[in-house]
Chain A
Amino acid sequence: MEAVGKILNTAPQDPLLTLHHVSLSFGGLLAVKDVSFTVTVGQIKALIGPNGAGKTTLFNLITGILTPEQGAILFQGQPLQGMAPHAIAARGVSRTFQIVQLFNHMTALENVMVGRHVRTRAGLVAGGLRLPWTRREEAAIRDQADAWLAFVGLGGRGAERAANLPLGHQRLLEIARALATEPRLLLLDEPAAGLDPVETDRLMELIFAIRERGISILLVEHDMSLTMEVADDIVVLDYGSVIAEGPPREVQRNPAVIAAYLGTDWAQ
């Protein structure tokens, strides 16, 4: 953790992402209700809750696909709400998707190369004229994309069409693509869904390896053993509200959480 703090030139306890009383309704239904929590630098935070609790909606709010009706979302002290998704990516927030959203007609390598878009600058004219500096930039994009593929364990699979990869590899590819944008904060939306136990173990190692690089993680996951293992801290959502927050051991014993997951009978 200390090493992480040095890399980012910030103390580990500094807030990276803060949600302040965020609310959003879809046609009268409050999907997210007065949600507040903080992700600190270098933290792995998990967001759990029953289906429909508002987890993916929160991800869409943070990444600018949706805009909160009330409240504020602060990233490194600056508001994110109202910014376009691509501008939020440029600020250092990246994500994966619950339903895999790869660029299916492109190769695995090209998918990750798109992740470099936000950190590179060759425009239409410079690229169209193939100016020398753009060719150097392209070569660098390719090298970095290769490196991220290797980092998630997909080295050597770069030439394959994204659509032809098995689901486990597709999920890893989404992570590589998100990492290529050089995020400070990575949002993982159910990265273990559809993975077998071996793949889930590898995912766990990958999540720790990402944190080692100084990247904070906000994770939505249904696999409880994975969540309990990797998360420093857990936020529990139910019907759009935060019903509990704390370290895994505490959250596990919280009666409100048990009630939300198993029904009130079990909580007594």
Chain B
Amino acid sequence: MRRAPRLIGLALALATLAAFSLAVRNTYYYTLVNQIGINIILVVGLNLLIGYAGQISLGHAAFFGLGAYASGILTATYQVDPWLALVAGLLLSGAVALLIGIPALKLKGYYLAMASLGFGIIVYIIFTQLSSLTGGPSGLIGIPSLKIAGHSLNSPQANFLVIWLTVTLILLLSLNIVDSRVGRALRAIHDSDIAAQAMGVNAPRLKLLIFVVSALYASLAGSLFAYASNFIAPSSFGVMFSIKLVTMVVVGGMASIWGSLFGAAVLTVLPEFLAFFHDYEIVIFGLILMLVMIFLPRGLVRGLLDLWEYRQWKQSGKS
């Protein structure tokens, strides 16, 4: 019964993409909008983990990096087909997530946060130190673009279509997951782990599964990022980026797929338009995270809506 609105939404999304690519000529906007798309894939995946399964990860940039480096190294150094390298990245990230997830997800709260933070730092160090493979701190050059039917997608415009088609599919997939039996079980775990298990939900397995899924999303985003920019360096995959991603989840609203879209878009665009942002980036992101957590714990969109509804209610009460 929710099929029809979903198809309409899909059609609308595709129409918007087509309109954008016809109307906009400036390459800079494509680069920016592509970055937004990549961040949306990351944030939606992270929100499945944080917002729905209730597991915090401060090392998500590591999986983004694994996807990017797997794709980058295989294509630039070993001339593997980009699509094949993307799949290889997914396999690697999925395997690492399984390996890390089995012990790490036994931890709760702060401990899990610390473990994921440590994992993020270790992977970052590997990217910097393993220079024979990764090119070290100065980065990896010569990554080819994706090819479709022999055509190289080497312009921001071409990448725009691939990235945003992927975003559309990821959104559709995620909305379906959240709405499904598994999504319901995840929300149940978030509210009461013990009751969910007593109702037959295999909570440890489900948490691991969603951790792997979020790692796969990140890896996919990483591969697309590598092909779109043709160059990657460790600085894109550090702990700071992990924290930015968490901020995007929180600003967009936990357990809200559409909110993630908003959070990723706003916090990707904001630094571009506010010059002072660059100097105080860490401070500003920290401040946003704190303020939203304290005053709008349900995220910016939902929080502002709540405030508005509350005002309406108060006014109607007075009259």
Contact = CB atoms under 8 A, between A and B. Distances in A.
A101 B194 contact: yes
A124 B209 CA distance: 8
B199 A89 contact: yes
Interface string B99-126: 0000000000000000000000000000
B132 to A, nearest CB: 37
Interface in B172-220: 173-174, 176-177, 179-185, 187-188, 190-192, 194-203, 209-210, 213
Given A106-B187, A114-B184, A124 B177 contact: yes
A105 B180 contact: no
A89 B202 CA distance: 10
Interface residues of A, number: 42
Interface string A113-127: 111011110111001
Contacts of A90: 200
Contact of A89 (B177, B197, B209): B197
A94 interface: yes
B181 A106 contact: no
A70 interface: no
Nearest to B212: A124
A103 B183 contact: no
Given A104-B191, A124-B209, A128-B176, A138 B181 contact: yes
Contact of A102 (B184, B190, B192): B192
Contacts of A119: 200
B180 A128 contact: yes
A86 B201 contact: yes
Contacts of B187: 103, 105-106, 110
Given A117-B181, A128-B176, A137-B181, A181 B191 contact: no
Contacts of B194: 65, 85, 97, 101
A118 B177 CA distance: 17
Given A114-B188, A114-B201, A103 B180 contact: no
Contact of B181 (A87, A111, A120, A180): A120
Interface string A228-261: 0000000000000000000000000000000000
B235 to A, nearest CB: 33
A121 to B, nearest CB: 8
Given A65-B194, A103-B188, A181 B199 contact: yes
A105 to B, nearest CB: 6
A33 interface: no
A63 B200 CA distance: 11
Given A106-B188, A127-B176, A129-B176, A177 B181 contact: no
B25 to A, nearest CB: 36
A239 B174 CA distance: 51
Contacts of A95: 198
A123 to B, nearest CB: 6
Interface of A: 63, 65, 84-87, 89-90, 94-95, 97, 101-106, 110-111, 113-115, 117-120, 122-124, 127-130, 134-135, 137-138, 141, 177-178, 180-181
Given A94-B198, A137-B181, 11 more contacts: A86-B197, A87-B202, A117-B185, A118-B199, A122-B181, A123-B182, A127-B183, A128-B174, A129-B173, A134-B181, A180-B199
